[in-house]
Structure 1
């Protein structure tokens, strides 16, 4: 497959490198020192599942330099989604499909404002990875999975082709016949972990050991479940409790990318996480006091230091 990775950070860099090593024709769209490092020295993956060094990396500054591709991975920060959607119009016009692996339940709605709905494949990723230094992606933990599917539940040729490419690359992969539910289920956990680690300013181990913050994490996730159910998503009633049990299996030092961004003084994805839950809750008459308070408390930091 010819794949463009739009956003070569932890998610895009890791999965793009694995696919390139397995024979896919991958082009990374990146910026700054990370782009220059990939051009000059290649891309290196450090992972407990095996390190990888790509010496000859095709890396460009803008999607317009990519040329004709079969598929585009969107892995940029959420505030860039609208600009990315606009930039993809000519690429999609040449036949490319688009799959976003961002942590938002409204990402594909934003993309579909500018792109044909039939060009969009629903996607979810599960991985803890980040840029360790320019040209180096550091993967922590053993999880590295992509799940995707057509919104109508069909097993299309493009979905099967991507599945086969991922399998060949050694990526854990799943084709879902209900990807909207998968997106919402991941959203439950991402919102909870992001909100509580950022509000407490500590990793998950500290949160879970304290009875009050543990209960707060559960309440934050329960609100997301309630909003999703009100919007017609078939999330089980006990899903938040199950996710809390999942968090207990995490390393106590694990945290969220939003907490990392907060600590570094970077811009936060807050408006698309707890902020979005609170806004959607108001639209469907579901109370979301925990998410609203966390969104308000963190709002002075939303644009970075």
Structure 2
């Protein structure tokens, strides 16, 4: 199998780098300065076992690859707000032997949130969900870091909307040779909804900084309570906290990385890089959507979604609002 990593940032770069180090064939897809740095200087991956430079093929898009191969696996690792464009770009590409990528190739959604699988399934016939537990950071163009050890991450994988098959098991086998644990599960969305509840803290962290104080954690608990309420109203089951703890155990510990200090999570990194976009519409916004569909008020997540999008549009610095100020904005939303 050849793995085409669409979005070679923190998650995609780490997965691609680890697969390549284990002998798998990998192509990275990146844009702009990141593409140029990967092309000219390789992928610089820092992990607890050292710094590695992986010289991998890198392209800006499918036109540089030409016809795709029958054994290609597309791994979608862009932010969810970029999923539609990526699916449109890659879906119509021809595959050796006939047909298109959307008709013939597996597409793995290695992303936060629960929306990309449905976006992909409109075009692709063979879609897989992946629940990503992978502490990683896009450091600068050409460089990513991953602080997890002894495993780099845990990547539950399964068919979408449900089920397992030989392809999922083959992908899992390659990942498990690459410093990951990759359980194949028939209910991968249960795991992704559980991760979604945890990711409701991403906006708070992005706007106010790491959640080290009780006030920030209290605000997260309010957002999560809304999330649990809307999932219950929608009849959606998420993996429980004890189940998640058993799955993680002590398999992924964080270690300080020399010269590559880990910042916040994915949303914090988007603000820190000034990308102009953030994934809040598919995290807090997913809870808001379900709340509107099922008649459950979600004022906390509504406010967090709005503030995060404002920060991204205005390119405000990550962590530049106090928890007290953000809480006041949330409380004002509840009073309306």
Q: Which residue of 1 aligns with 2:319?
A: none
Matches within 5 A, 1:191-270: 191=200, 193-199=201-207, 201-205=208-212, 209-210=213-214, 212-235=215-238, 255-266=264-275, 267-270=277-280
Structure 2 unmatched runs, 5+:
94-100, 256-261, 316-336
User: Residue 120 of structure 1: CA displacement?
Assistant: 0.2
TM, length-normalised to structure 1: 0.85
How far apart, CA to CA, are the structure 1 residues paired with 2:21 and 2:270?
30
How far apart, CA to CA, are the structure 1 residues paired with 2:103 and 2:63?
12
Kindly indicate whether residue 41 of structure 2 is the aligned counterpart of residue 33 of structure 1.
no
- The size of the alignment, in residue pairs, is 288
Q: Which residue of 2 aligns with 1:77?
A: 79
How far apart, CA to CA, are the structure 2 residues paired with 1:237 and 1:166?
25
Which whole-Å deviations, capped at 9, do the CAs of 1:24-63 have from their partners, x for residues lacking one? Answer: 11111111222122222221210114433213x1111102
Q: Which residue of 2 aligns with 1:156?
A: 165
How far apart, CA to CA, are the structure 2 residues paired with 1:25 and 1:304?
40
SS at match of 1:28: strand
**Contact kept in structure 1, 2:161 and 2:189, CA below 8 Å:** no
**Contact kept in structure 2, 1:262 and 1:304, CA below 8 Å:** no
Kindly indicate whether residue 188 of structure 2 is the aligned counterpart of residue 185 of structure 1.
no
136 and 257 in structure 1: CA distance in 2 versus 1, 3 angstrom threshold: same
TM, length-normalised to structure 2: 0.78
Aligned-residue CA RMSD in angstroms?
Answer: 2.5
**Contact kept in structure 2, 1:270 and 1:302, CA below 8 Å:** no
Q: Which residue of 1 aligns with 2:130?
A: 123
Which whole-Å deviations, capped at 9, do the CAs of 1:247-279 have from their partners, x for residues lacking one? Answer: xx989x863221233344332212222123112
SS at match of 1:176: coil
SS at match of 1:204: coil
236 and 127 in structure 1: CA distance in 2 versus 1, 3 angstrom threshold: closer
Runs of 4+ in 1 over 4 A off after TM superposition: 236-239
User: Residue 237 of structure 1: CA displacement?
Assistant: 7.7
Structure 1 unmatched runs, 5+:
none
261 and 151 in structure 1: CA distance in 2 versus 1, 3 angstrom threshold: closer
